[in-house]
Structure 1
Amino acid sequence: MNISVVIPLLNEDESLKELYTWIARVMHANKYTYEVLFIDDGSTDRSWEIIQELAEKHSEVKGIRFLQNYGKSQALHAGFNKALGDVVITMDADLQDSPDEIPELFNMITEKKLDLVSGWKKKRYDSVIAKNIPSKLFNWAARRTSGLKLHDFNCGLKAYKNSVIKNVDVYGEMHRYIPVLAKNAGFHNIGEKVVIHQARKYGKTKFGYDRFINGFLDLITIWFLSKFGKRPMHLFGALGVLMFMIGLASAGYIGITKLYKLAYDLPAILVTDNPWFYISLATMIIGTQFFLAGFLGEIVLRSKRDKERYKISETENF
């Protein structure tokens, strides 16, 4: 199979038939063999009923329905698990991503031998305050921390080699940083393509300011995992040593001062009245806690098990 199109969605019943018709037209024009995977992330409108109707008429349409809303990353994870195509295309269901981009994205993966191609919505039709400014901040921070020179990490329109999506674990709100996850997994042939961004035709955006905060927290998580994910003791152990050394130095200063005053019969204060005593005590305790955090991180890393992150209530054509 040439292409799998993975489409996560939440309450997009108005756009689904139009989107599928557009995708099918592009696929037939280019003589691709394909499948379209709709992942219904707990919609409360008629989205699942429409997916069922499409699946009954078209064998290439497949559907996954979540029991409730788990988030875009979990929807992509479920779609990636089921995708069979040599090239996997992801896009949003709101018609803001153009299926006409699929042939060139496909060629960039197959002919230029790229592992991943990320879309760049150079000209956007979103609200400047609600999405454009946050997106610019996200992209700037992601470039600085990851070293990837992409303009639009969060663009939903992307193309992947099948081996990429089978080896990248998308969780939390990490869908916006899949290129970084791919790079950390060892896929370095990552490209970018300017794509058409269209104004939303139906419904309203699902963007909220909580996603703005969560996105930055996830970026910090990615930075940590890329640097220390395999050996957390390297970070926490180093911090523990630093804090413990500060504590020992403070304790040594207290001891030397005490001995000096005793040797020269100078008036001395109680050790507990010396502020350096509390600095020494606090830094030693903090250093010990860092060590413990490092040990716990190593134990968790070695004993972790895959957890069920979402529940599927029903499927179509699988």
Structure 2
Amino acid sequence: MQISIVIPLLNEQESIKELHDWIANVMQSNHFLYEIIFIDDGSTDGSWQIIQELSTKNNAVKGIQFLKNFGKSQALHAGFKAAQGDVVITMDADLQDNPEEIPELYNLIKEDGNHVVSGWKKKRYDSIITKNIPSKLFNWAARRTSGLKLNDFNCGLKAYQSDVIKNIEVSGDMHRYIPVLAKNAGFSKITEKIVQHQARKYGSTKFGAERFVNGFLDLITIWFVSKFGRQPMHLFGALGVLMFIVGLGFSIYLGVDKLYVNPVGRLITERPQFYIALASMIIGTQLFLAGFLGEIMVRSRKNDTRYTISNKINI
């Protein structure tokens, strides 16, 4: 299998058939051996019925239906697990990603040896206030935090070597950061390609302004996980020891002052340094225990089921 095209979707019944026909024409004109994996993330319209109809006409069409809406990251995880192609390409189902980009994306992976090729929608047809400006701020923060010089982390059109998607875990809302996850897993050949962005033809976006808030929170999470996910004691333990030393220093100062400098002065409990010392030592102990418990959890955790599949087609 040359190419697996993974398409997560939610309530996109108007665009699915048109997108399928467009992809099929591109694949056939380039003589690619391919599969199209639609992941229905709990749609409440007729999306699943359309996927079933397409699968009867085209054996390359495969489908996964979630029992309810679990999110794009979970949909991609299920699609990656089912993908059999040497190159895996993801795109959105709203017709804003152009399937004509697929051959060049494939060549950038297969011929140029890149691990990941991320699309860059340099010219966008989205709202400037609700999407373009927040997206620029988000991408700036993502570049600064991750060290990856990508201009568009949010672009759904990406291409991967199959080894990449089989060796990373996409969970929570981490679909924006798959290139970062790939980098952390050791896949260093990550590049970017300017892709054509198209105005939405049907329906409305499924993402609101809150996705950028969630995106920044996820960015902090992935920064922490990438640096301290395997050894949380390195962060919490170090902070805990530092706080404990600060508290211990104040305690020693108070003790020496009371015993040798000013034995008839105020009681130790009447001095503000006493409460600083007490709070610092308690917080330091708690941080140290948090790191210790984190180490135990990292070493004993098991993979959790993050979604429930109700139906499959050709998988």
TM-score (norm 1): 0.98
User: Are 2:268 and 1:297 equivalent residues in the alignment?
Assistant: no
Displacement after TM superposition at 1:209 (Å) = 2.4
User: Are 2:222 and 1:225 equivalent residues in the alignment?
Assistant: no
Matches within 5 A, 1:69-218: 69-218=69-218
Displacement after TM superposition at 1:255 (Å) = 1.1
Counterpart secondary structure, 1:37: strand
Counterpart secondary structure, 1:221: helix
Equivalent residues of 1:261, 1:268 under 8 A apart: no
- 2:10 — aligned with what? 10
Measured in 1, the distance between the counterparts of 2:282 and 2:209 equals 37
Measured in 2, the distance between the counterparts of 1:304 and 1:43 equals 32
User: Are 2:266 and 1:269 equivalent residues in the alignment?
Assistant: yes
Structure 1 gaps of 5+ residues are none
Measured in 2, the distance between the counterparts of 1:71 and 1:206 equals 11
- 1:312 — aligned with what? 309
* Structural RMSD (CA): 0.8
Displacement after TM superposition at 1:267 (Å) = 3.8
- 1:287 — aligned with what? 284
Displacement after TM superposition at 1:134 (Å) = 1.7
Counterpart secondary structure, 1:200: coil
Measured in 1, the distance between the counterparts of 2:65 and 2:7 equals 12
After the TM superposition, list the runs of 4 or more consecutive aligned residues in structure 1 that deviate by more than 3 angstroms. Answer: none
Counterpart secondary structure, 1:168: coil
- 1:257 — aligned with what? 257
Counterpart secondary structure, 2:88: strand
Residue by residue, what CA displacement relative to the aligned partner does 1:244-283 show, whole Å, maximum 9, x if unpaired? Answer: 0100110011012112335xxx641011001000000000
Equivalent residues of 1:184, 1:226 under 8 A apart: yes
Residue by residue, what CA displacement relative to the aligned partner does 1:101-154 show, whole Å, maximum 9, x if unpaired? Answer: 000000000111000000000000011121112211111111001110000011
Equivalent residues of 1:4, 1:83 under 8 A apart: yes
Equivalent residues of 1:120, 1:151 under 8 A apart: yes
Displacement after TM superposition at 1:317 (Å) = 1.2
Measured in 1, the distance between the counterparts of 2:48 and 2:264 equals 83
Measured in 2, the distance between the counterparts of 1:232 and 1:134 equals 31
State how many pairs are aligned: 315
Letter in 1 for 2:171: Y
Counterpart secondary structure, 1:15: helix
Counterpart secondary structure, 1:254: helix
Measured in 1, the distance between the counterparts of 2:173 and 2:134 equals 15
Counterpart secondary structure, 1:243: helix
Structure 2 gaps of 5+ residues are none
Equivalent residues of 1:261, 1:267 under 8 A apart: no
